[in-house]
Amino acid sequence: MSAASGGWPSAARLVGVGLGPGDPDYVTVRAVKVLRAADRLVHFAKKGERGNARTIADAITGPDPARELPLHYPVTTEIAVAHPDYAAAIGAFHDRAAARLIEVVEAGRSVGVLCEGDPFFYGSFIHLWLRLKDRVAIEIVPGVTSMAAASARSGLPLGWGDDVVSVLPATLRYADLVERLGAADAAAIIKLGRNLPKVRDALGAAGLFDRAVYVERAAMPGQRIGPLAAMIEDRAPYFSLILVPGRGRRG
């Protein structure tokens, strides 16, 4: 490691690096230090794609093939996500990935695992961390979440005063969504995908449809923000969420 890089900044050899939602300006100083100094930069990717985390890192340090260690997801397009074979394929992939990273660390290399957003907030890194945490020392560098970026870019505070803010995966059953929306002052609904029509209905049943804002690719190229009522598609892409902004409840 060169003196210019400042050297490896961590007591741990393996760091889960939160890189924020997409805008390279939303990367933290510590993440920049790790990106510059790591011997290996690991990213998860589908075959033939670089992925969002890698794209952010490239904007900071430039592509550096000698340091890159891509971990390619198995091809699972023919298996339904709910099928046990899917979980088995992904589980085996994470097992192999963890074994590989232990080898790299034991060979004396410092490793940064590139994570979108915050590694410990719905990050796929958690599956790797579960397999590594008792084997190697790990530092987590927290990051700006896509939820925070969506709130900032839409100009809508997520929570204030005594607001209850709930993060709700759209995979919840309809009745559970309605109940949890009813108990929250503000919400971020994630994992929309094909669940969008169910979420629309649930927001309506909870009386929140008119407050809901649809945010796609927050702080990324192609950012799109508007009232959910103006969003006519029945399926939302991966980088999207719905915000129900806070109302500043007191007591």
Interface residue list for a copy of itself (CB under 8 A): 9, 18, 20-21, 23-30, 32-33, 82, 118-123, 126-127, 129, 133, 138, 140-145, 148-149, 151-153, 155-169, 171-172, 179-180, 183-184, 191, 219, 248, 251
Query: CA 57, CA 61: separation in Å to the nearest integer?
Result: 6
Classified as helix, coil or strand, 43 is strand
CA–CA gap between residue 213 and residue 243 (Å, rounded):
5
Q: Is 42 helix (H, G, I), strand (E, B) or coil?
A: strand
With beta carbons less than 8 A apart as the criterion, state whether 174 and 202 touch.
yes
- Whole-number minimum distance, CB 126 to a copy of itself, in Å? 4
Which residue number, 30 or 72, has a Cβ lying nearer to a copy of itself? Answer: 30
**Cβ distance to a copy of itself smaller for residue 47 or 250:** 250
Closest C-alpha among 241, 30, 223, 51 to residue 146:
241
CB of residue 18 to a copy of itself, shortest distance in Å: 8
Minimum distance from residue 26 beta carbon to a copy of itself (Å): 5
Nearer to a copy of itself, 41 or 232 (CB): 41
Cβ distance to a copy of itself smaller for residue 191 or 224? 191
**Residue 248 C-beta: closest distance to a copy of itself, Å:** 7
Instruction: Give Cα separations from 171 to 47, 52, 164, 194, 233 (angstroms).
Output: 26, 23, 21, 9, 18
Nearer to a copy of itself, 25 or 65 (CB): 25
Shortest distance (Å) from residue 157 CB to a copy of itself: 4
- Specify burial of residue 97 (Cβ count, 10 A radius: 0-12, 13-18, 19+): buried
